[in-house]
Chains A and B, each alone.
Chain A
Amino acid sequence: MSTETACPLTARDYKSELKPVWCPGCGDFSVLMAITKALAETGRRPEEIAVISGIGCSSRLPAYTNCYGFHGVHGRALPLAAGLKLSRPDLLVIAAGGDGDGYSIGGNHFLHACRRNVDLTYIVMDNQVYGMTKGQPSPTTPPEWDSALAPGGTGLRPFHPLVIALAAGANFVARSFSGDPANTAQLVLEAIRHPGFSLIEILSPCVTFRPEDRNWAKRVHPAAVDETQDRARAARRVLTDDGFNTGILFRGDRPPYQPPYNPAEAGPVDFEVEFRP
């Protein structure tokens, strides 16, 4: 079967037939649209792409693409994606999921993925809530947000994923809003093209459990200053902004971690000499 095709692929070619399980109005629909649009721009064919996720509403995303995909266990998308990319550097590997999946149960992997800097793009659909389990607070939920599991709010300071990513060594950090799919697609494409570990945090409202977040559309605004290569400046900016400024916040130049695959100069038989007494 020939993989060549005369006409360029469009976003549709990266979408599967499957109908998403998401609630009407969920921000993740637009994120899916933006991702498929970006993929069409990469020039990579669907079979050369793998989309890896954990568990959550947002983590259902791989099945809605026409790429290879892995819907694994809660919180472990990043190591699975890293294992795939390290053993198959030829593939374009994307990890996707939610704030609970990536920052809570998968928090340790998040730190080490930033530090390891494998050439991956990590798309977090941050809705500041556990959507799939029906409305519990996540590490990015505001402290006063009332819920059945945390009556009166958690009282806990939300986690600053972008600052943490910067401190841990992520090579590209951006923020976007699902309500702006054109810009989101552009940012996803930039993230994919940038070597190393790229984090793109997409504010993607959960209309069912946090309907108040529909107003995010009014709050987001493009970053007032240009992107920087200076980690400290980027971190200061993210720490002091209102959490709604979008765009590329940091673009680093760390070389990606990809240990060389030496051509197989030895096979197991060659190690036999070591076992002579």
Chain B
Amino acid sequence: MKEISEFQRKACTIAMLGSGGAGVMTAAEILLRAAGRAGYYGLMTKSFGPQIRGGEAAAFVTLSTAPVDIQGDQVDLLFAMDWQNTERFAGELHISSDTLVISGLPGAEPPAIVAGHQPTLVEVNLKAMTRSHKGTRPNMVALGVVAGALGLAQETVNDLVNERLTAKGEDAMAHGTAAIELGYGEAEDLDFDPLPASDGDTPRWIISGNQAAGYGAMRGGVRFAAAYPITPATEILEWLAPRLQKAGGLLVQAEDELASINMIIGGAFGGAAVLTATSGPGLALMSESIGLAVAAEIPLLVIDVMRGGPSTGIPTKSEQSDLNIAVYGLHGDAPHVVTAPNSIPDCLFTAQWSTHLAESMQVPVIMLSDQSFGQALGIVDRPAELAFATRRQVATTPAAADYQRYAATLSGVSPMAIPGTPGGQYIADGLEHTETGTPSSGVADHNKQLEKRLTKVVDFDYGNHWAEIEGSGPAAIITWGSTTGPVRQAMQRIDPHGERLRLISLRLISPAQPDRLAKALAGCGRIMVIEQSQMAQFFGHLKAQFDLPIHADLYARPGPQPFRADEIAAKLEDWLS
């Protein structure tokens, strides 16, 4: 018999559906926050129709007493404000006969993708209720119904609703409370198991991957940013812009990505720790100038929040298909660093770490986050404070006659003079140069500088941050980024004690760490690589750079469908048997 993981036992997934303006996102976010205040972990993802504004929308909230990094396999509770265009969510809305479906529109037929699974169907007359209590809003009644069904304290929900409505005045707040009361009243008649008891009010954070990335970079010291808006990275910029200002920094909206990357190169040359954030198309535009930053040894962070590609592709959905351009997309022999977070809170860690790497090695770092982290909201443990000691090596008292900006030191890192420093004047150059920075096309200079730039990146001590390793079984799964969550959940289900399986999730994608991987794989007879890319870019990278054993197996498929734990569990069961 299969062991049921802690996650499966205690997690509960709620979906809220509604057409444009129905307010399901607001309701779902309040629900998530209420659960957060009550001591649950959670995850909220959003799905929208193709309209820019006002189309149908679905919010998914998974709550648990254990950390949640993916949506549950099945929807336990579905609240539909209406059934308009629900078919759009066919691939995402997993209904079963155990699902409790609440329809807010009595008499309306649920579509086949719902009704076909024969769930329990209950009707709640939102219209009648909001009509009988003037001023109440249907989404708040729906929120009351769902929160009541889950057994969340009504007071907490009221508090949250009131916090949102304070600006709108006393009346609005009273209507909000009344709507919640109506919903809780309806919930009393429902036959639904409330959430199991939580740990109480543990201090947790509610944060999106994009906020976490912005915050991590600020913790790492970033104070100057320039960027051009692009889905799904824009939230990083919108989060940073006002906060950088408050922290004595600045974010500039550039005319395009060619400008944004060059603006931050200018800022970094001036001494600031800098970043830009973009997605695949923007990264492609930046690549020439990232090469410049490699040659001129300019530290900077580029966050690529990946989406379905190529070209405009699927801007609102995730895919792990920018690995090749991030690792191999620069012209010339251009050593740089590519990192990837493996969870929402890890977006914070990895952004902070990436800033530290960029500054320590005076090198561009590309961090590959993705839409599924960036635009999801998680309730997570408060991330630890990190202190990375090394900062940029600066030439504080260079003597004009001997200062060598590009001195071939042992570590490859050479002290950088910051404009304003007397005696440190040099020309940062994309042309190959001598140690002082004078252009040179000589063999010896080219070799020396190539060697310097490679050494500093390859010899750097990345410590044990290069990967996350869990379990000690003889069959290893190697993965990265947002595929880590579903793999982890699948492993907990089929191997709860980590005796059969081992998870290795790479945080440092490049430069490759073949020795470290070999050590992590010690004792493993079998290996499977799992990734969300049709062309198996990660697998190719591992095979090319990491001495991956020849018999390694592969499970790779494209987005936009996120991996589900049951999908991967089935794969692994099959693979192990």
Contacts and interface: CB of A to CB of B under 8 A. Distances in A.
A86 B205 CA distance: 34
A159 to B, nearest CB: 18
A18 B259 CA distance: 30
Contacts of A46: 425
B423 interface: yes
A143 interface: no
Interface string A57-87: 0000011001111111101101111111111
Interface in A176-195: none
B248 A72 contact: no
B537 interface: no
B245 A262 contact: yes
Given A3-B422, A46-B425, A82-B263, A73 B289 contact: yes
Interface string A248-273: 00000000000101111111101110
Contacts of A109: 255, 258-259
A73 B265 CA distance: 11
B488 to A, nearest CB: 23
Given A3-B422, A86-B250, A88-B271, A69 B265 contact: no
B238 interface: no
Contacts of A72: 262, 265, 289, 292, 296, 428, 430
Contacts of B33: 277
Contacts of A45: 422
Nearest to B251: A259
B247 A86 contact: no
A276 interface: yes
B420 A90 contact: yes
B4 interface: no
Contacts of B265: 70, 72, 80, 83
Nearest to B39: A277
Interface residues of A, number: 53
A67 B269 CA distance: 13
A268 B218 contact: yes
Contact of A264 (B248, B274, B429): B248
Interface string B399-428: 000000000000000000101111111111
A224 to B, nearest CB: 36
A180 to B, nearest CB: 28
B78 interface: no
Interface stretch (A25-33, A47-55, A96-104, A235-243): A47-55
Nearest to A47: B422
A214 interface: no
A229 interface: no
Interface residue range, chain B: 35 or more
A84 B421 contact: no
A108 interface: yes
Contacts of B421: 47
B256 A268 contact: no
Given A87-B272, A88-B419, A268-B219, A76 B259 contact: yes
Contacts of B245: 259, 262
A121 B51 CA distance: 45
B423 A86 contact: no
A95 B366 CA distance: 28
Contacts of B259: 76, 78-79, 82, 108-109, 112
Contacts of B256: 108
A1 B258 contact: no
A45 B425 CA distance: 11
B75 interface: no
A266 B243 contact: yes
Contacts of A1: 397, 422-423
Contact of A83 (B34, B203, B248, B262): B262
B207 interface: yes
B431 A71 contact: yes
A75 B262 CA distance: 10
Contacts of A47: 419-425
A201 B250 CA distance: 31
B425 A264 contact: no
B538 interface: no
B427 A69 contact: yes
Nearest to A53: B427
A68 B429 CA distance: 11
Given A68-B419, A262-B248, A268-B218, A84 B427 contact: no
Contacts of B266: 52, 70, 79-87
A181 B269 CA distance: 31
A46 B520 CA distance: 53
Contacts of B252: 82-83, 86, 259
A81 B275 CA distance: 16
28 contacts: A63-B427, A68-B425, A70-B266, A70-B427, A72-B262, A73-B288, A79-B263, A80-B262, A80-B266, A82-B259, A82-B266, A83-B270, A84-B270, A86-B252, A86-B267, A87-B250, A87-B267, A87-B270, A87-B271, A87-B274, A88-B271, A91-B419, A109-B255, A264-B246, A264-B247, A265-B246, A268-B218, A270-B246
Given A85-B266, A86-B250, 5 more contacts: A72-B262, A76-B289, A78-B259, A80-B269, A87-B271
In the A-B complex, the 3 residue pairs with the closest CB atoms: A277-B36, A83-B266, A264-B248
